[in-house]
Homo-oligomer: A and B are copies of this chain.
Amino acid sequence: MDIVIRIVGAAGQGVQTVGEVLTRAAFHSGLELHAEQSYHSRIRGGENAFALRLAPGPAWGAREGTEVLAALNQEMLDQYLPSLTDGGWLVCDEDLTVSEARVVRVPASRLAKEELGLPIAANMVLLGAAACVAGIEEESLARAVRDAFGDKAELNLEALALGKQHAGDPRLGPHSPAYTHGERMLITGGAAVGAGAIAAGCRYLASYPMTPGTAVLTYLAERATRWGLVVEQAEDEIAAINMALGAAYAGARAMVTTSGGGFALMVEGLSLAGMIETPVVIHIGQRPGPATGLPTRTGQDNLLFALHAGHGEFPRYIVAPRDAQEAFYLTAKAFDLAEKHQVPALILTDQYLVDSFSTCAPLEVTRVAPRSYLLTPEELEAMVSYDRFAITDSGVSPRAVPGVSEKLVLVDSDEHDTYGRITEDLHFRKALNEKRLRKAKGLMQDVAPPYVHPSGGLEGRTVLLGWGSTYAAIREAVDMLNAEGESFAMIHFSELWPLRTHELEQVFDQAARMIAVEGNATGQLASLVAQQTGLKVHGFIGRHDGRPLTAADIAQEVAR
């Protein structure tokens, strides 16, 4: 069983609501799943698609092909019908025109109006039918509806029942559960970043709305009172980063969330973070540029920008989680290393990762356990004097925050002496600049090795090189390609800066051919690898039309 249930319609028709209910139902049934969303940049109309993939083992990521297509309008029906696989089923309202043989027509609108007196419940009737066709357990679905609608669940449950009734028997399934309750979690990439932040002790978020970064803003805003955060919508992104830096200077772990265009406005602030050595975490949900580009689509075109953003030279930490689970851990790690090394940390996700649901092993709280790296008031009182930027071997100076002891804390955007005072003494300049840059070494030691699969014996293989959210697609592609002989492998980076080169050199050494696979047009990781190691890939597979790379995309391109 590897099926995709695809719900398609216009914005405002409830595609997302229906999709989420179905996703939770599958989760309750113990199915491994991945659910991906694609939508236009508008509030009503246009195209919305929600694709739930169910699989016995890992559901990996997005794929083409549809086993159950639930179409909420004619336009989207026509557009997605060609994706129906052999043996696939179309579910739609009886009003729609369709010549497909394998169709389950449901008088959803009529039933919703006549039987339920609630026209907008039509999509729930259709969901009932589609879920039935797809073989989703009834109880799980009911539970998901109750969770989603609370008081208003009853009518929706009736709607589901009507749909099921019209659909008749399941066409697919039954699906045997892969796990029992508690063994898995269900999470989106956006929620994972938000939860990772709270887990790391984030206290402050200032941001300006921007898709897909907003997901983290709303996640945190909704939980601010419960977990004790200030989540403030800034007047612009420049305010956001400067407010966050202010809060961080004052001792609150701080974050901003945005997308490439908003980050572009934060670049001066990023450089300030480097200069005043104040930790801040920047979440960039990538979407295709340049400029406004495709605001609700996905891409991976900000890696080199994130790496080189900011005037002057200073260390930073950059991660690009491969999935939601890792997004949780790496967000927490970004906070931790930002504090430990007093550097800005950047988290690169993308619309695909932020909006996708996936099942994963339960997140382990013991893996994040946040630590404080600040001088305590007692330590400060015991010091004769305090220099915020004392020169150290590691480049990291003991950090105090203002107000907690009588020691004053001074930071300066100009070059400064060890106390923090503006100076034009060029010896100080050299010493302080070198001190800051030295932190890169310590950071490097905290970076985990890239993921290499299979873990040994790469000799003679074609190795796919990737980063961030393309992980699942590449991983699945490797399996697909290896179905006909074991000649493929992969190396994947989730921690991108500082870039570990040791494993890269080994892999390049063993591989017969290296191919970069990225969600952009130019091969940004490939460039970065060349820059750091002098090693050049032999091929490049890129996708830059706003949709995520799939395993099939990759396998096809490799085969060519």
Chain B residue with the shortest CB-CB distance to A528: B531
What are 24 of the A-B contact pairs (CB < 8 Å)? Answer: A41-B414, A47-B424, A265-B265, A271-B289, A271-B290, A271-B291, A272-B290, A275-B291, A275-B293, A276-B291, A289-B312, A290-B314, A295-B414, A302-B311, A305-B310, A309-B309, A313-B521, A426-B545, A429-B545, A429-B546, A430-B544, A433-B545, A527-B531, A530-B530
B290/A310 in contact, CB under 8 A: yes
B275/A289 in contact, CB under 8 A: yes
Q: In the assembled complex, how far is the CB of residue A213 from the closest CB belonging to chain B, in whole angstroms?
A: 12
Chain B residue with the shortest CB-CB distance to A237: B268
Residues 302-354 (chain A) with a chain B CB within 8 angstroms = 302, 304-305, 307-314
The answer for the CA separation of A208 and B260 in the assembled complex, in Å, is 24
Chain B residue with the shortest CB-CB distance to A40: B424
Choose among A307, A309, A528 the residue with the greatest number of B CB atoms under 10 Å from its CB: A309
Q: In the assembled complex, how far is the CB of residue A510 from the closest CB belonging to chain B, in whole angstroms?
A: 18
Report which of B291, B301, B430, B532 forms a contact with A530, defined as CB distance below 8 A. Answer: B532
The answer for the CA separation of A261 and B272 in the assembled complex, in Å, is 10
Is A178 an interface residue when CB atoms closer than 8 A count as contact?
no
| Chain B residues within an 8 Å CB radius of A412 | 292
Chain B residue with the shortest CB-CB distance to A304: B308
Is A407 an interface residue when CB atoms closer than 8 A count as contact?
no
Chain B residue with the shortest CB-CB distance to A296: B424
The answer for the CA separation of A238 and B259 in the assembled complex, in Å, is 18
- Known contacts: A268-B264, A531-B527. The answer to whether A288 contacts B544 by CB under 8 A is no
| Chain B residues within an 8 Å CB radius of A270 | 264
How many copies make up the complex? 2
Is A12 an interface residue when CB atoms closer than 8 A count as contact?
no
- Known contacts: A261-B271, A264-B268. The answer to whether A313 contacts B291 by CB under 8 A is no
B545/A312 in contact, CB under 8 A: no
Q: In the assembled complex, how far is the CB of residue A274 from the closest CB belonging to chain B, in whole angstroms?
A: 4
Is A421 an interface residue when CB atoms closer than 8 A count as contact?
no
The answer for the CA separation of A46 and B297 in the assembled complex, in Å, is 54
Q: In the assembled complex, how far is the CB of residue A310 from the closest CB belonging to chain B, in whole angstroms?
A: 6
B271/A413 in contact, CB under 8 A: no
- Known contacts: A265-B265, A275-B289, A530-B530. The answer to whether A301 contacts B311 by CB under 8 A is yes
| Chain B residues within an 8 Å CB radius of A261 | 268, 271, 311
Is A534 an interface residue when CB atoms closer than 8 A count as contact?
yes
Q: 1/0 per position for A513-543, CB-CB distance to B under 8 A?
A: 0000000111000011011111110000000
| Chain B residues within an 8 Å CB radius of A520 | 313
The answer for the CA separation of A293 and B424 in the assembled complex, in Å, is 10
Extra 20 A-B pairs, beta carbons < 8 Å, given A260-B311, A261-B268, A292-B414? A260-B312, A261-B271, A264-B268, A271-B290, A274-B290, A288-B312, A288-B433, A290-B310, A291-B414, A294-B415, A294-B429, A295-B414, A309-B309, A313-B520, A426-B546, A429-B546, A430-B545, A434-B521, A437-B521, A528-B531
Q: 1/0 per position for A37-75, CB-CB distance to B under 8 A?
A: 000110000110000000000000000000000000000
| Chain B residues within an 8 Å CB radius of A276 | 291
Chain A to chain B: the 6 pairs with minimum beta-carbon distance, closest first:
A289-B312, A260-B311, A290-B312, A264-B268, A531-B531, A275-B291
| Chain B residues within an 8 Å CB radius of A259 | 311
| Chain B residues within an 8 Å CB radius of A265 | 238, 265, 267-268
Q: In the assembled complex, how far is the CB of residue A344 from the closest CB belonging to chain B, in whole angstroms?
A: 10
